[in-house]
Structure 1
Amino acid sequence: MEKRITRSSNIELLRIIMMIVIIAYHFVVNSGITKLYDFNNITGNMIFLQIFGFAGKAMINGFLLISGYFMIKGRTSFKKILRLYLQIKFYVFIIYFIVIFLGYETFSFVSSGKTLFSMIKGVNVGFSATFFLLYILMPFINKLVLSLSRKQYTVLLFILFFFYTAIPTFFIINDTFDEIGWYITMYLLGGYIRLYLDEIRLTSVKAFSLVAVNLILAAGSILVLDKLSYNPYHMVINANKLLAVTLAISLFTAFKNLDIGYSRWINKLSSATFGVLLIHANSDAMRQFFCVWGTKSYRHL
């Protein structure tokens, strides 16, 4: 029997960092700040905000890689599925009533119905419902891919990344992205790393150098596309774009091999990251909340 992998503090620290980056991303992208950008007058504040908030989708990739890495040989149960469902619905209802109380949304049968059936409405649209579907599918995905040879698994990933990443990044003729298909793809990549690449070790200097290179490339792509008056986030705006993928892989690789020992406080804080993510990815009403605060903040920069 394989020894159970302990979720050590290095991965938990990564979760915390990724959550902070996602908060920054939501503040910029979901706040309405981007509507105030003037590409005929690119300022330092505008460039700062573009770079400050570009990496949210890459961090979602990171969470999916972690899920695949730990769950490819893990087990789910009805109890675990129910617990995840109730956790997601708890945040959905709590946030719904809070934004109504604060006046960012008005109670109606339509809005309450959307809240009640959010897990159906949000599949292939938002993170929470799509991740829940992925969680249900995990035992079936695991059984299927564990029956493949390494060569077959490699070819499968090549096909998926060509379809989901290469075509929309380089050919720009078709946006092939769909939420659940992409979540499965990143989950499979995390599983592949666990099964076949786990013994590969990079020094911290090399690993974090790769992270730095990816960050520089992403920031550089934003600046270049600004000058070309093209969508500055083209290489990173969706989770399937090339630099969003490579940044997630480099970060995961760097932290997976980082030896920082065990920290009860890091692990404890990390346990709250999924709840924070559920709050930020909750609803249009939450995005309206970010919009009000974001546009106010931008005007004071």
Structure 2
Amino acid sequence: MSEKRLARQSNMELLRIVAMLMVMVLHTGYASFGYPRTVWLQAEPLRWLGLTMTEVYTVACVNIFVLITGWFGTTFRTKGAVRLAIQPIYVTFVLALYVWLAGLPLPTGVMGYVRPIWNYWFVCSYLVLYLLTPMLNAFVEKSDEAALRRFLLVFYVITIPCSFVFADLQKGYSAVSFVGLYLLGRYLRLYGAARLQHWPRWRFMALYVVLMGTMGLVGWGAGMMSQTFMGAFVPFVVAYTNPITIVAAGAMLLFFSRVRLQSRLVNWLASGSFAAYLVHQNILVRKEYYAYIRHLADIIPSTPLFMLAVLALIMAIYVISTLAIQVVIRTVK
């Protein structure tokens, strides 16, 4: 913990930025255009191939973000919890001001302004994980590699199938899933990285590309022939308990752990990653974000130009969010 606070590892901070950009790109796919149906794939196969590949290559974003937390073995601090809790309030206040100035529809009633603050599933789950980190770290310290490996094996053997059967685990959109990812991140840092040190760095990225690409191509191809398959494929792909996604996220983590980088700019940009999520997923503006993505698709016929426009929008939101959140970061140190 002290090492992290004194000198942030820019390679992992870069991964944090990448993970959040993946979140924002993810929400330009199915979230903006709707979940695919076989008739749509048959009518516009290339369009939906692009959307499907966008979805599969970015869906590991949340898992990566939580794995980073586990990699560093984050320790609970009261100020850290306060900062996590304050950011949604601050962002909602700023966005409410923006909505008013932009002439967009304002919320009605007090709850209309309160609801955006607690409507983030990720914030609630991550805050619960943060509160549990002292116990999780103590468990890791008292366990040897074999014990931790057995626990993770049993954890995922139980939670992965159960998450697709029972609503409680919400397919990984929950604190329970985050606990497993946190411990997996610790295991990879303490034992996994050393065990795989003979692997060249490129293999981890290749593993990510092959796993996610294969999943996307299979889903797209089979989905064109069967709505029944497509109906089962989409919930599997978007689930954070998808074992393929978990393995791919771990591969991405190990790839970036081999990167040698130290940059103040990267560290500063990484400080705004959480804020970028809060801004574009706040319910005061979320529908407008999705609608604007669709609007860009309508007015820009060229796919490369559309992609550049979306990337520019995402980068602008990210940088503005980073600048805006510095008030909270500097106030609650």
TM-score surpassing 0.5? yes
- The CA RMSD over aligned residues, in Å, is 2.7
Matched residue, 2:26:
25
Q: Which is richer in helix?
A: 2
Of 152, 156, 164, the match for 1:161? 156
Contact 1:11 1:255 in 2 (8 A): yes
Aligned residue pairs total: 287
Q: Matches of 1:276 and 1:42 in 2, distance apart?
A: 32
Amino acid at match of 1:87: Q
Pairwise mapping of residues 118-137 of structure 1 onto structure 2 (< 5 A)?
Answer: 118-119=117-118, 122=120, 126-137=121-132
Q: Matches of 2:252 and 2:44 in 1, distance apart?
A: 30
Q: Is 1:61–2:63 an aligned residue pair?
A: yes
Overall identity of the aligned pairs, in %: 20
Post-superposition Cα deviations, 1:249-276, rounded to whole Å, max 9, x if no partner, equal 11111111123x3222222222222211
Q: Is 1:13–2:14 an aligned residue pair?
A: yes
Post-superposition Cα deviations, 1:43-72, rounded to whole Å, max 9, x if no partner, equal 31222122223344411100100001102x
The secondary structure found in structure 2 opposite 1:240 is: coil
1:157 shift after superposition: 0.9
Matched residue, 1:253:
254
Contact 2:35 2:234 in 1 (8 A): no
Q: Is 1:190–2:190 an aligned residue pair?
A: no
Q: Tell me: CA distance 1:276–1:298, structure 2 relative to 1, closer, same or farther (3 Å).
A: same
Deviates more, 1:239-248 or 1:100-109: 100-109
1:104 shift after superposition: 4.4
Q: Tell me: CA distance 1:17–1:167, structure 2 relative to 1, closer, same or farther (3 Å).
A: same
Contact 1:26 1:56 in 2 (8 A): no
Matched residue, 1:282:
282
Q: Tell me: CA distance 1:297–1:150, structure 2 relative to 1, closer, same or farther (3 Å).
A: same
Q: Tell me: CA distance 1:99–1:43, structure 2 relative to 1, closer, same or farther (3 Å).
A: farther
Q: Is 1:150–2:149 an aligned residue pair?
A: no
Gaps of 5+ in 1: none
Pairwise mapping of residues 1-301 of structure 1 onto structure 2 (< 5 A)?
Answer: 4-5=3-4, 6-34=7-35, 38-71=40-73, 74-102=74-102, 103-115=104-116, 118-119=117-118, 122=120, 126-166=121-161, 173-174=165-166, 176=169, 177=171, 179-199=174-194, 200-201=196-197, 202-227=199-224, 228-229=226-227, 230-231=230-231, 232-259=233-260, 261-283=261-283, 285-300=284-299, 301=301
Q: Matches of 1:292 and 1:108 in 2, distance apart?
A: 25
1:241 shift after superposition: 1.0
